A and B are shown apart, each in its own frame.
Chain A
């Protein structure tokens, strides 16, 4: 699944600017997550048209790009996320970051690992469902 990342400075109005740009471009946002340090941050997003979103953001002067992440469907019950993360941890695959998304009314766990090939194996051997966007 494609994720849009935007480099942001930690100052008032930056995130509003990102969201306004996506709104103007008519993008539907499924998830947003911000990781930051004292001065900068990375805003990660899942939306219905990643290429269109990235282009709109660049046009508005933001530094943005597209990378691939996993979006695994969660069961709507306690412990589901923990179970998924544990599958990767026990296989020795590190998760760099994760956040949750609601896509077409269903909950998903969005994450990036340090080993995509192993991650694909874990997904298929455990019968996990990936988001289709």
Chain B
């Protein structure tokens, strides 16, 4: 079902007009309320009057995560404190956390956008929906929660934590939908199987997964082990939270809520805007945000905008899967390596579980890459009494990695359950190199 056809299906011309008007308004708003943007625009010798259509967006300055940190806590907030009704924060491994304040109108738009996502997944008033994203400073829990309520569904604010209790609730309450990270979904499936609960005992039919990168193979695995249809849900707290983009029933990319979040793809090195279809770094401008609007925020997520229309009738542009992070990119012996490349290799080998860890180190001034991967016990049940099936697998993984990454990796086979699982974001990489 399409939640808001007036917006989600509006003609591209009309949409561009709306985006242009909203862009002009938000630029004038931050110019007058956020010294950071006013100073930047004055340095670049542009004023809000220069921004008259959506195409003028390329004249505007970029915003980075570092800008958000440098202006901690409220430097980029545009609305007066009395208008802010909620604050979320994302913590990084280094530096200040990123603080994002929302006005009542922001929360309303967030709920609206989230309802569009859930509707596209087929969630309705009769669904019992468990939100198993973390509640709290992270936007996942409350973001999805408000969307389900706004839609009229029944929300269970499970959050993360006690997985066995969660499985029992899903079974006993007849939960039909779930929102969580894809790795937590797999953790849930594992717990369920350990508890002896079968897919046929559950009423689960739809899942909204996001907040970390995942692949088509992971989707298939989650779908078969939890007995549901798995949809992608994309978002980031700096822009809003989950609901920035969503898959429809065609699952050919995720529609971006373009009337509120304007997307661009840029070359991460030159910052040049790239045409639709070309992969690069995703950049968003919030067109309607009041609490903390951002202009051309560099997400560091690598993807592309898909040209062409979607069969579902929505006119909102679609973004492809996130293929990596421009800042997750590892430079190993001068070669660019994305953890997602490793993941896709491992997922193509049935003996490997979709659970791995990359360790980058430096020995005698030479970078080394170690890939630890868990094996799936069921693929070794037919009988072994020597190490050869394991060393053969190690060689196979190493040779496939070599052909994809163009550098040699040291492969370590791990027994099931020995690579740490996270209930939040997955940590794939450990960079032990000490530079300078």
A interface residue numbers (CB < 8 A to B): 3, 5, 7-9, 35, 37, 39-42, 44, 58, 61-67, 69, 96-97, 112
Contacts and interface: CB of A to CB of B under 8 A. Distances in A.
Given A9-B418, A58-B377, A66 B383 contact: yes
Given A65-B381, A67-B385, 6 more contacts: A7-B390, A7-B413, A42-B387, A65-B380, A65-B383, A97-B386
B386 A96 contact: yes
B17 interface: no
Nearest to A5: B385
B413 A40 contact: yes
A35 B381 contact: no
A63 B375 contact: yes
A37 B388 CA distance: 11
B382 A9 contact: no
A112 B417 contact: no
A3 B386 CA distance: 12
B383 A61 contact: no
Interface in B347-380: 375, 377, 380
Interface of B: 375, 377, 380-387, 390-391, 412-418
A96 B388 CA distance: 12
Nearest to B416: A61
B391 to A, nearest CB: 8
A62 B383 contact: no
Contact of B386 (A9, A42, A61): A42
A120 B39 CA distance: 89
Contacts, number: 57
A7 B380 contact: yes
A9 B385 contact: no
B385 A39 contact: no
Contacts of A63: 375, 377, 380, 415-416
Contact of A67 (B384, B416, B417): B384
A47 B384 CA distance: 17
Considering residues B381, B385, B390, B418, which has the most beta carbons from chain A within 10 angstroms of its beta carbon? B385
A67 B413 contact: no
Q: Main SS of the interface on chain A?
A: strand
B278 to A, nearest CB: 42
A66 B384 CA distance: 7
A62 B416 CA distance: 7
A91 to B, nearest CB: 22
B173 to A, nearest CB: 29
B417 A61 contact: yes
Contacts of A58: 377
26 contacts: A7-B375, A7-B380, A7-B415, A8-B415, A9-B414, A35-B386, A39-B412, A40-B390, A40-B391, A41-B387, A42-B387, A44-B385, A58-B377, A61-B377, A61-B416, A62-B377, A62-B415, A65-B381, A65-B382, A65-B383, A65-B384, A65-B385, A67-B384, A96-B386, A97-B385, A112-B385
Given A7-B380, A40-B390, A61 B385 contact: no
Contacts of B375: 7, 63
B165 to A, nearest CB: 22
Nearest to A63: B377
A38 B386 CA distance: 15
A42 B385 contact: yes
Contact of A9 (B380, B384, B391, B415): B415
Nearest to A66: B383
A64 B386 CA distance: 11
A40 B385 CA distance: 13
Contacts of A67: 383-385
A96 B391 CA distance: 17
Nearest to A59: B194
Contacts of A112: 385
Contacts of B390: 7, 40
Contact of B385 (A3, A8, A41): A3
Nearest to B380: A63
B270 to A, nearest CB: 43
Contacts of B384: 5, 7, 42, 65, 67
A83 to B, nearest CB: 24
Contacts of B380: 7, 63, 65
Contacts of B391: 37, 40
Q: 5 shortest A-B CB distances, which residue pairs?
A: A67-B385, A5-B385, A63-B377, A61-B417, A65-B383
A65 B385 CA distance: 8
A61 B415 contact: yes
A42 B389 CA distance: 11
A66 B380 CA distance: 10
Contacts of B414: 9
A97 B384 CA distance: 13
A12 to B, nearest CB: 13
